[in-house]
Amino acid sequence: MINTDFVLDSIQEMNDIKKVPKERWVELAEEIRAFLLENVSKTGGHLASNLGIVELTMALHLVLDFPKDKVVYDVGHQAYVHKILTGRKEEFATLRKLDGLCGFPRRDESPSDAFGVGHSSTSISAALGMAMARNIMGTDETIVAVIGDGALSGGMAYEALNNMSQLRQQKKNLIVILNDNNMSISENVGGMNTYLDKMRTANAYVDFKENLEKALVHIPGIGEGVAKTLKRTKDSIKQLFVPGMLFEDMGLTYVGPVDGHNVEELVDVITRAKNLKEPIVIHVRTQKGYGYGFAERYPSRFHGIDAFDIETGKSVKKKEVASYTDCFAKKLVKMAEKDERIVAITAAMPTGTGLNLFQKEFPDRFFDVGIAEEHAMTFAAGLASMGMRPVIALYSTFLQRAYDQLLHDVCLQNLPVTIAIDRSGIVGADGETHQGIYDISYLSSVPGLTIMAPKNRYELSAMMDYAVKFDGPVALKYPRGNAYYGMKEFHEPIRHGKSEFIKKGEKVAIIGVGSMMEQALDTCKILEEQGFTPTLVNARFIRPLDTEMLEELKKDHELIVTMEENIASGGYGSAVTYWAGQMKEPVRILPISLPDIYLEHGGVDQLKDRYGLTAEKMAERIIETLNN
């Protein structure tokens, strides 16, 4: 028996929840929600999704044994409750901070984190791989994938569901829990959401088919034969009464919808599903933000939030200036007013990318394709092939998913698609799965793709005008956070593939790429205080490389320095170094970038300091290089 006023205090490590008596489950759920509110209001993080999954996570921990059994959370931002129940409660003050608790599951953080995740629609594939490995090894782990209804708009989820039917033939178990809250980050769209809507309004059933077959078997003479026929035949009665027909047709047993905020009911269903020797989909209905009024009313706003006041629900962070996303969104609306060919595309993130403004003004020219970046890119190619000027806005980390479509469907055909790459560079607290530090590397390998990066908010606007009018594909990358207003006085007209000289000096030349121009300017000031007169160049174009500018710098500078928020391999500095290697006379290049790593979570400024991207540390490296 628990002898404490707070049930949550009794949970110090994985499986401790099993000691909590049934009559205190509701109390524990309330305490977990209070704990989440208290901590996330201070650290920021993903709140609404975690408030909505409290009872479901509790039920999983009551039924399963960790770390033996495995749960794969799709996307992973809803794993806070899982972390609390596996002994990491005391670390929540460090959530998403440098060297602190990660906001997503990490295999190196706890043995109960079975699989590292961060992108959508991946959980079923990973869980199926685990299940197949279990079958080969002859072990008996229970494998569970928890996937949101929004993630079912991603094609990878269907590929995995299709493949799951093999388990029925092997008479092996895999549990997929469909966490249906009618929300991903923004409101869900598409055919799957319409299908789920019908299931939400149907009468809930649990084991309808199983109970019917059991009843028929007991009819003397004909019952058993009818039951077997019913099991094989997809007849009209089943079509009418079984809301999970889509999953049944794929060879998966469907159960639900189940109340996702009733621990007892969830424990019962998961326990019975665990004992089945077949793949099963449990449809669980939850409410995003459950238990906190502001998050229930505004789930999108409380999906990922900065520190906030619990009483008012308002952010405590003062927004001093507009973000790059804000500037992009307002400029695109102005452009679309003048050019009816401009259309906008998002992959389930109209608010995150700022395209909700475009949606409001031009609903017929706005397309939210769901969590389907691959489809979004080829969809944009189709629009462009018919004379439209599509602008597709994606976070850098999610653009990675559409690489093949970008290369094969857009760039190979030289179609005028503008890819607005939000959150390019160091993102910060979301960590290694979300850092946008690879886009230069993977985009630079695509022939025919123009890649641009603005030095400030004004240049972003000018580059958007240029990109939409350009007869070919353009990738325009900009960082997360407040837009830079400095260097407004420098605004040379944009010419294809040409950089911009900010100041001319001698001996050392610094070329800044996009978001690094602010630090590049500060570095120049430090060098000037040390008696140097550096040249400062705004790269503007990452591809094509401005070799004329480099030739000019080579003539009267001992050292050319490049600065970028990208990994070293394949970055801008790598391209400049390759160019230098082709020269007959030696050219000294100092590429300053991030190392070839998966960058951890932490504050953006903290990470820049740790990896040498502050003005002070870059100036030290330049002086040291010159002295050597």
Residues taking part in catalysis: 288, 373, 401
User: How many residues are listed for the chain in this entry?
Assistant: 628
Closest Cα partner for 461 from 596, 322, 566, 348?
322
What is the residue whose two structure tokens read 């890119």?
377
b/e code 305-339 from CB counts within 10 Å (16+ = b): beebeeeebeeeeeeeeebbbbbbbebbbebbeee
Residues 6+ positions from 191 with CB-CB distance below 8 Å: none
Residue located via tokens 């969590």: 371
Cα(399)–Cα(477) distance, integer angstroms:
11
**Residue appearing with tokens 């259309």:** 343
Task: Kindly write down the DSSP assignment for every residue of 322-347, as one continuous string.
Answer: -BHHHHHHHHHHHHHHH-TTEEEEES
d(CA 60, CA 63): 5
What residue type is 211 in one-letter code?
N
How many Å apart are CA 431 and CA 103, to the nearest integer?
8
Query: How distant is the alpha carbon of residue 367 from its chain centre?
Result: 19
Q: Find all residues with CB under 8 Å of 564, minimum gap 6, and list them.
A: 440, 513, 514, 516, 571, 572, 573, 592, 593
Number of C-beta neighbours around residue 298 at 10 A: 14
Radius of gyration of the chain (CA): 27
C-alpha span between 511 and 451 (Å, rounded) = 16
Q: What is the DSSP code string of 598-615?
A: ----S-HHHHHHHTT-SH
Give SS3 for 335. Answer: helix
Spatial CA neighbour of 534 closest among 411, 409, 448, 625: 625
**Measured distance CA(363)–CA(456) in Å, rounded:** 29
CA 156 to chain centre: 15
Q: CA 228, CA 240: separation in Å to the nearest integer?
A: 19
Before 493, cis peptide (omega within 30)? no
Which residues, including other chains, have CB under 8 Å from residue 333's CB and lie 6 or more apart?
357, 358, 361, 362
Ramachandran category for residue 541: left, alpha or beta (phi over 0 → left; psi -120 to 50 → alpha): beta
| Other Cβ atoms closer than 10 A to 626 | 17
Residue 224 CA to its chain's centroid (Å):
50
